């Protein structure tokens, strides 16, 4: 396999060997996670994490003896009849189809600051799950065909800032606050949009650490979303949880948000 990984040879002398070697490829690409159920069938997650990862850097896992994508043998002594649904060519074809999943046209858009520009789709993204909740309209909606993955939300880190707390007693004493707890104005606006889907009366609010007195004070504000009943929610944490730390949104994101607002209220 290209891309810096150790080369893997797909043995094509029999359908059994091919089956086992592609299991090994997917197993390694999945960082050691189990790829087969008790009955020997690939799970959907294994196909997504293993085969998807294996093919994303190369359209073929060929290292001399057997092409996984085409199933063509290097010479006539190797078998080309792989008829099981989990044979090398069959698995490769399914993984390739996952790679080609069409994303919404709004995916990857950025604002002038480099933060994500969230433009909702007119219709929910069609997936095998058939989910049509709010997250399905988001350009970073994920599904079995388009799984959660770190960094999927382009510009996610630009939704956050990192104020510094200074001491009025000792000018050399200072510390940086957690950026995931400190959304920018753009990030807070997105957090407010999400919450208003459940609580239309929610408002954007902010406070500055140390503003009520004491020797320590932050040089920037911490932004929040205040529910209509007065409950305060940290805007940065809303974004972190809903967007799964840059990995994308899912049906679970909507469920989490609803629980957050319901329990807070």
The model's pLDDT over 160-191, given as tens digits with 9 standing for 90+, comes to 999 999 998 888 889 999 999 999 999 999 99
Under the banding of pLDDT at 50, 70 and 90, the label for residue 91 is low
> Is the confidence at residue 235, as pLDDT, over 50?
yes
The model's pLDDT over 95-131, given as tens digits with 9 standing for 90+, comes to 555 545 678 889 999 999 999 999 999 999 988 889 9
Q: How far apart are CA 163 and CA 160, in angstroms?
A: 10
> Is the confidence at residue 70, as pLDDT, over 60?
no
What residues contact 256, with CB distance under 8 A and at least 6 apart?
A: 241, 242
CA angle (68 as vertex; 41, 64 as ends), nearest 5: 135
> Is the confidence at residue 11, as pLDDT, over 60?
no
Under the banding of pLDDT at 50, 70 and 90, the label for residue 8 is very low
The model's pLDDT over 76-89, given as tens digits with 9 standing for 90+, comes to 444 444 345 556 66
The model's pLDDT over 136-163, given as tens digits with 9 standing for 90+, comes to 999 999 998 899 999 999 999 999 999 9
What residues contact 115, with CB distance under 8 A and at least 6 apart?
A: 155, 158, 159, 184, 186, 187
Higher pLDDT, 211 or 59: 211
The model's pLDDT over 23-67, given as tens digits with 9 standing for 90+, comes to 333 333 333 333 333 333 334 444 444 443 443 333 333 333 333
Taking the domains of the chain in order of start, what are their residue ranges? 15-99, 104-265
- Which backbone phi and psi does 142 adopt, to 5 degrees? -115, 165
Residue 216 buriedness (CB in 10 A; 0-12 / 13-18 / 19+) = middle
pLDDT, position 28: 38
Q: How far apart are CA 98 and CA 197, in angstroms?
A: 31
Q: How far apart are CA 206 and CA 222, in angstroms?
A: 6
pLDDT, position 38: 35
Q: Distance from first CA to last CA of the chain, Å, rounded?
A: 52
> Is the confidence at residue 197, as pLDDT, over 60?
yes
CA nearest 159: which of 190, 205, 195? 190
Mean pLDDT of 197-213: 95
Under the banding of pLDDT at 50, 70 and 90, the label for residue 90 is low
CB-CB contact of 127 with 142 (8 Å): no
């Amino acid at each position: 396999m290209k891309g810096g990984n150790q080369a893997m040879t797909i043995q094509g002398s029999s359908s059994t060997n091919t089956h086992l070697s592609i299991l090994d490829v997917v197993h390694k690409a999945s960082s050691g996670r189990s790829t087969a159920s008790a009955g020997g069938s690939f799970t959907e997650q294994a196909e997504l994490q293993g085969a998807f990862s294996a093919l994303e850097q190369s359209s073929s896992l060929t290292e001399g003896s057997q092409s996984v994508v085409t199933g063509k043998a290097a010479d006539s002594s190797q078998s080309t009849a792989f008829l099981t649904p989990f044979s090398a060519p069959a698995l490769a074809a399914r993984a390739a189809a996952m790679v080609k999943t069409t994303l919404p046209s709004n995916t990857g858009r950025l604002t002038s600051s480099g933060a994500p520009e969230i433009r909702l789709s007119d219709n929910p993204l069609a997936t095998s799950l058939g989910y049509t909740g709010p997250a399905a309209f988001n350009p970073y909606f994920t599904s079995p065909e388009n799984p959660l993955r770190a960094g999927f939300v382009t510009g996610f880190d630009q939704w956050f800032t990192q104020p510094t707390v200074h001491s009025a007693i000792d000018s050399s004493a200072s510390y940086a606050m957690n950026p995931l707890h400190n959304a920018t104005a753009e990030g807070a606006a997105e957090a407010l949009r999400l919450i208003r889907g459940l609580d239309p009366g929610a408002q954007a609010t902010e406070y500055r650490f140390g503003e009520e007195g004491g020797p320590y004070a932050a040089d920037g504000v911490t932004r929040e979303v205040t529910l209509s009943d007065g409950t305060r929610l940290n805007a940065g944490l809303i974004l972190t949880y809903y967007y799964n730390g840059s990995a994308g949104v899912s049906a679970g994101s909507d469920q989490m948000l609803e629980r957050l607002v319901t329990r807070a209220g």
